Amino acid sequence: MGGLLSLGNLPEPAATPSVELSEDLGEFARAATIEEMVRLGREVLSDPTYPTARALARAGRGVVGCFPVYTPQEIAHAMGLVPVALHGGGENLEINHADAALGSFLCSISKSTLELGLTGGLEAFRAVVFPYICDVSRNLEGIFPRLVPGRETFMLHLPQNFHTPAALPFLVHEYSRLAERFRAAGGSPLTEEALASSIELFDLQRAGIRRLLSAKQGERPSLSLSESYVLRRLGGLVPRELHVAMLERAASELEHRARPARDAIKVLLVGPFCEQPTLELLDLLEQVGCEVVDDDLLQAHRWYPSVPPGGSALERLARAYVDSRMDIGVRATPTTKGEAILSRLDATGAKGVVFLTAKFCEPALEDVVLYRQALDRRKVPYLHLEFEERSTAYEQARLQLETFVESIMFD
């Protein structure tokens, strides 16, 4: 692999930083309203060089990158590190080098993550965790140490058979190995007390995220999809203490916040659990008359409602993952997919499903087949769109979405 892509001097950065934040990220503490938080979040997301991670690293904090979909970030936090969700480079990152190391028919998040690594865009990260969610993430973990040296990388193996008693001890062991890597990346020793208190903090964050999600349901949703998304996305980019405080401010504003009533069709947004669509595409969904009442975006915060009591903190964390009812493409539960989508429709009152899958994302595409069988049986309308990080032209998607919405409205 070393000969496949030979980098003498580091190439020119793929993107120039456009947002500089203060080392204490006080900008987020000062954002008093949802509008201010979302404006700040949109700026941060437009800069592919991870401005929050850079600011934290300047302040001497140990930042660890967590590739989607799931890493037990509580462990990093308990060891004094800051876990940052590593969701690729987004629409403003040009790919000039990663194509030489990765095949053409791969999702964009894999290429943009590697591009960032190859061009110095991940200097703020002391370690990167790749959960074994698919062949692409598995291979990235293999490529990174060779092509992007200078930081710890770790492949997190997650169990796929949740009915065997071996799943829990296996995962506890895997989490202990992860903690060893975090130690090598400068983390403090992992203690029972510290992990229990980090779990408590992350449970608060999960509760705050649930409140945001419930604001998208009901007859008059008080948040737009992109507002809900940006507020959630910040949860993986700033220290969790800061995010919990932001969620509390957002929750009190939501109690009396009203958006104008609009004629829209309630839909589920299914598929974008790893690579993320652009904000423009999320805005488009609502512009054409969809009201997204539940979605697959950023599932890391929703894997379980809270960590159950009983046992050591590491066991509790592992049990939460094993017992999770999460049913998306990276969990091998093929027989329950149909039921899962139908019960989401029942719980939210959605009238249709928009599948929004990253191009070449096999786990998401395989799920679509299983979901469609269940939807066809119940005659629920659906539309399937594909996206890439650098998608910019949405004329065709707009037309397809408008036709889909009209077909439900005038049915």
Binding site for ligand SF4 (CB under 6 A): 107, 109-110, 133-134, 136-137, 274-275, 330, 358, 361-364
User: Edge to edge, what strands does the sheet with 290-295 contain?
Assistant: 290-295, 265-270, 352-358, 382-387
Q: How far is the CB of 318 from ligand SF4 (least distance, A)?
A: 22
For ligand SF4, the closer CB: 124 or 364: 364
Residue (of 232, 132, 205, 192) closest to 317 by Cα position: 192
Q: How far is the CB of 330 from ligand SF4 (least distance, A)?
A: 6
Query: Any bridge partners for residue 131, and if so which?
Result: 156
Residue (of 53, 35, 33) closest to 44 by Cα position: 53
d(CA 236, CA 82): 10
How deeply is 359 buried, as exposed, middle or buried, from its count of CB atoms within 10 A (0-12, 13-18, 19+)?
middle
Q: How far is the CB of 67 from ligand SF4 (least distance, A)?
A: 8
Helix or strand or coil: residue 371? helix
Q: How far is the CB of 76 from ligand SF4 (least distance, A)?
A: 20
Q: How far is the CB of 18 from ligand SF4 (least distance, A)?
A: 25
For ligand SF4, the closer CB: 107 or 114: 107
Q: Which amino acid is at 208?
A: G
Query: What beta strand segments (E) does 94-234 contain?
Result: 125-131, 152-156
For ligand SF4, the closer CB: 222 or 357: 357
Query: Any bridge partners for residue 98, and if so which?
Result: none
Residue (of 281, 4, 277, 200) closest to 118 by Cα position: 4
- Alpha helices by DSSP H, listed for 236-358, are 240-254, 279-287, 313-322, 337-348
For ligand SF4, the closer CB: 109 or 247: 109
C-alpha dist (Å) from residue 187 to 184, 199, 227, 275: 7, 17, 34, 28
For ligand SF4, the closer CB: 225 or 328: 328
Q: How far is the CB of 117 from ligand SF4 (least distance, A)?
A: 15
For ligand SF4, the closer CB: 275 or 294: 275
For ligand SF4, the closer CB: 137 or 226: 137
404 CB-near residues (< 8 Å, 6+ apart)? 352, 354, 381, 383
What's the token pair of residue 142?
Answer: 């293999």
For ligand SF4, the closer CB: 124 or 358: 358
Q: How far is the CB of 70 from ligand SF4 (least distance, A)?
A: 11
Q: How far is the CB of 407 from ligand SF4 (least distance, A)?
A: 29
For ligand SF4, the closer CB: 242 or 358: 358
Q: Which helix (H) or strand (E) holds 81?
A: strand 81-85
For ligand SF4, the closer CB: 227 or 275: 275
Residue (of 354, 368, 351, 364) closest to 397 by Cα position: 354
- Cα-Cα-Cα-Cα dihedral sign, residues 181, 187, 191, 192: negative
For ligand SF4, the closer CB: 118 or 361: 361
How far out from the chain centre does Cα 70 lie?
A: 8
Answer yes or no: are the C-beta atoms of 130 and 155 closer than 8 Å.
yes
Q: How far is the CB of 137 from ligand SF4 (least distance, A)?
A: 5
Q: How far is the CB of 355 from ligand SF4 (least distance, A)?
A: 14
Q: How far is the CB of 69 from ligand SF4 (least distance, A)?
A: 7
